[in-house]
Structure 1
């Protein structure tokens, strides 16, 4: 990508208030899969967060999104009682010691670019945001979680994701938005509602 196009993306991202990791275009996997995956996954995450966030305060206001086929590969958000939105990326801290994530420079760049801490020595990688503007915070969280699922855990289609929604098992497998899924040929297709 030319430097002028890159700067244009940074300016647009800054104006939109999005972290660089969300807004920056990337062809990490050599195709436009990332460009199609991010909005589809963000929509699915956003809709679940919106539903959970509309509930009254209590302990059951969280969403967990797992990258299938990878142990200890999940992201989660919890609406906390004091009005904040706590999101985490699994560090492997709560699993077996051998499953802990090594924070290499590339992992640190993904985490910090999405606004997460890079210290997993006492738990998961975290980011806490006030919920002064709930719709904007939900949108931001959905976008950064989609980036982490793709860039860190290798999710490429919605079929690569598994959801857990507090007190709403039907939302675990439901498609709430159109999105990408694995085509019978092994390729990628757009799923329509």
Structure 2
């Protein structure tokens, strides 16, 4: 029966989310991947100390514009790597510009990750609320179906409402599963670009 399927879908979401949220610090984290709030600099950069490049990269308009282009997910990674090589090849002070460029990428991509993860947790909270609502309305619908006399108009209205709410719930679930891959993709992008920058400095 459709009603039982709706209730099971909502219950399955709640159980799977609870199972994933093994880390009590992040109860709303909906992804199978462990939540790592920030990328560690040491994990992606083995080059020289960044020093004041961490704050000064924003002062260089050319660096800032390049960082924005390289950090954009719509820019293919191979194209981004090529841009890094071309920029550093034409730099008078390759080491200084390399540090500025990486500092900008590190800041920008970490900020992107934080934004994506906050969005995921926000949607996860909405999904929990939606799952609770679907379960409660399923119980109401079952009561309406069992009532004597039965009000078919109310049963139909509640059934249609549940079907609609469950479609929204399922659509969000699919989006969450897709977006859960984004923080890892950002990590990989930063690591790849950091490696290219370091290679060009040698």
TM-based fold match above 0.5 = no
**Richer in helix (by share):** 2
**Richer in strand (by share):** 1
Instruction: Return the TM-score normalized by structure 2.
Output: 0.27
Instruction: Return the TM-score normalized by structure 1.
Output: 0.28
Greater RCO between the two (CA within 8 Å, min separation 6)? 2
Bigger Rg, structure 1 or 2: 2
